[in-house]
Amino acid sequence: MIKSFKIYFFFFLFSFIFSYEALISPIAYSIYHSEGNSYKYDKTYTSIGGWGLLLKYKNKNLTIKSDFYNNRIYNIMDKPNFFNDSQGLSRFKKVDYNSNEIISTFDFDISNLNINYNHNNLDLYLGKFNTHWGYGNSSLTISNKSPSFPKLGFNLKINENINFEYFHGSLKSNILDTAIKDYYVHDIPFGNRSPNLNRFIAAHRLIIEVNPKLNISLNELVIYGVRNLDIHYCLPFLPFWSLQGYLGDLDNIVISMDFNYNLNEQKSIYGSLLIDEIRPSEIFSENNRNWFGYQLGVNFKNIIFNDDNLISELNWTDHRIYRHRFDINNHYNHGYPVGFWGGPHSEEIYLNYSFKKFDFLFNIEYSNAKRGILTDVMLDNQYIDENEQFTRYDDGYEKLSNLEISINKHIYKGVVAKIGINLIDWNNAGFDTSGLNNENLTNIKKESLFFGLSYNYDFEKEESFIHKDSFKYILK
């Protein structure tokens, strides 16, 4: 709560300094799943709810948006399954754990802040908020799978056709810092804490409108850690690949390219190619270390009804991307992938069709995803080029098919209702990607009905917003 008060104080300070409107509005949501959706492996109910505040401020150049909401999930015994595209959780704590260790209720908090200052062709931003790079439903480079992380960056409009973006951020490594762990030990029960080693991310991209039909984005990012913020990666216009060579090849570089091609006003094709551990001098050699992930999709509009939309997408990742010989350089935040939500050694077929009719939003969404093991032996082999005998999924896999059919309806002054069903076919539920604990896997089929109500909260995007009809307190 102390962090949220700091955010609110900062917001109020700006609202009084500048004579422009500031808005405050409540956030609330609740949803019930009759068979737990894909949050857990059994077929009992799960319900989730949350409440908080959303704050917005805007003047000629400065925009501030902040939200904070506390959430509670009922009838679940452990952290929710994360083999889906739902955003991961930074902190997940049992309610009254000290007095009842078998309680099935958990709390988690979400907070975001985005401060944006615009001047001519330059946007400066600072905060902790979600980031998605690419044109698809999923992203191979930077997605919303991991919890939002703090970052400082800018967008620069170079000319009418070229934009440049850069940011530097901090990630949570989940790797114990043994050098200082003794400072976080206390004699009282549950008084100990586990400090982590630093992990940082720096990323930049060049977004080019080649012509009115074709847009491409050239992206590069680096993950590094243990040391403090490295000034080398604070130089936004230099290639990170060259800088990490200058530093002694300590870090992990990923490059990618996104594209979107408009066939016409209603149809477009998009895609992405990601390369990890690129070696330009060995791109075409037999033993190159150019490990790939790719995405290919289409987006069609006005197919049957006006304003309907169809997305079809394929995502595929090699088992050698996102992981590094030095664990500190893995592309993870709070244990969740920074890039594609399925992580390395995975794939997904995704379909979504939506349309509006009679003031209802109808949505049909289908995801068929699969992932395999990720062992230390596989990691060692990839760096000594011993992958000739490797076959995807030969040593086990998890496969999750989820068809969701839903109807959304705005009821009254910002209140939105959502009802529907999830048809789930889950093979090898409980799969451990390390391969160490896969003896008691199970196959599950579910027909999980759900019903939810939300106020200034979007269930699909998992983010807050201020509905035009909702209650707002205005500061002038």
Q: Which residues in 122-144 are b (16+ Cβ under 10 Å) and which e?
A: ebbbbbbbbbebbbbbbbbbbbb
Cα gap 78→236, rounded to integer Å: 41
**Residues in the chain, total:** 476
With beta carbons less than 8 A apart as the criterion, state whether 214 and 258 touch.
Answer: no
Q: Which residues, in sequence order, are bridge partners of residue 32?
A: 47, 451
- Tell me the pLDDT tens digit for each residue of 304-350: 998 899 999 999 999 999 999 999 999 999 999 999 999 999 999 99
Cα gap 233→244, rounded to integer Å: 9
**C-alpha atoms less than 13 angstroms from C-alpha of 16 in its C-beta half-sphere:** 5
Cα gap 114→454, rounded to integer Å: 23
**Around Cβ 346, how many Cβ atoms within 10 Å?**
26
Segment 198-220 shows an average pLDDT of 97
- Tell me the pLDDT tens digit for each residue of 389-400: 788 999 899 999
**C-alpha atoms less than 13 angstroms from C-alpha of 334 in its C-beta half-sphere:** 16
Measured between alpha carbons, how far is residue 286 from residues 274, 290, 322 in Å?
A: 19, 11, 21
- Tell me the pLDDT tens digit for each residue of 385-439: 766 678 899 989 999 999 999 999 999 888 999 999 999 999 999 899 988 888 8
Tokens representing residue 32 in the block: 């019930």
pLDDT at 374 over 50: yes
- Tell me the pLDDT tens digit for each residue of 28-79: 999 999 999 999 999 999 999 999 999 999 988 999 999 999 999 999 988 8
Q: If we measure between CA atoms, which residue out of 141, 86, 82 comes closest to residue 398?
A: 82
Segment 13-20 shows an average pLDDT of 52
Cα gap 289→252, rounded to integer Å: 13
Q: What is the mean pLDDT of the chain?
A: 90
Cα gap 341→130, rounded to integer Å: 14
Residue with tokens 């992580």, as numbered in its chain:
343
With beta carbons less than 8 A apart as the criterion, state whether 203 and 220 touch.
Answer: yes
Report yes or no on whether pTM surpasses 0.85. Answer: yes
Q: Which residues, in sequence order, are bridge partners of residue 22?
A: 57, 475
- Tell me the pLDDT tens digit for each residue of 81-132: 889 999 999 888 888 655 556 678 999 999 999 999 999 999 999 999 999 9
User: What pLDDT was estimated at residue 103?
Assistant: 73
Which range is least confidently modeled, 96-105, 135-144, 211-220? Answer: 96-105
Cα gap 362→157, rounded to integer Å: 37
Name the H helices within 362-458.
376-383
Residue 471 — very low, low, confident or very high, per pLDDT cuts 50/70/90? Answer: confident
Give the angle subtended at the CA of 418 by the CAs of 412 and 424, to the nearest 5°.
175
Q: Select the more confidently predicted residue: 360 or 82.
A: 360
Residue 1 — very low, low, confident or very high, per pLDDT cuts 50/70/90? Answer: very low
Cα gap 400→81, rounded to integer Å: 11
User: What pLDDT was estimated at residue 131?
Assistant: 96
Give the angle subtended at the CA of 271 by the CAs of 265 and 272, to the nearest 5°.
145
pLDDT at 282 over 70: no
CB-count exposure of residue 390 (10 Å: 0-12, 13-18, 19+): middle
Cα gap 428→424, rounded to integer Å: 13
Cα gap 110→70, rounded to integer Å: 7
Cα gap 173→324, rounded to integer Å: 13
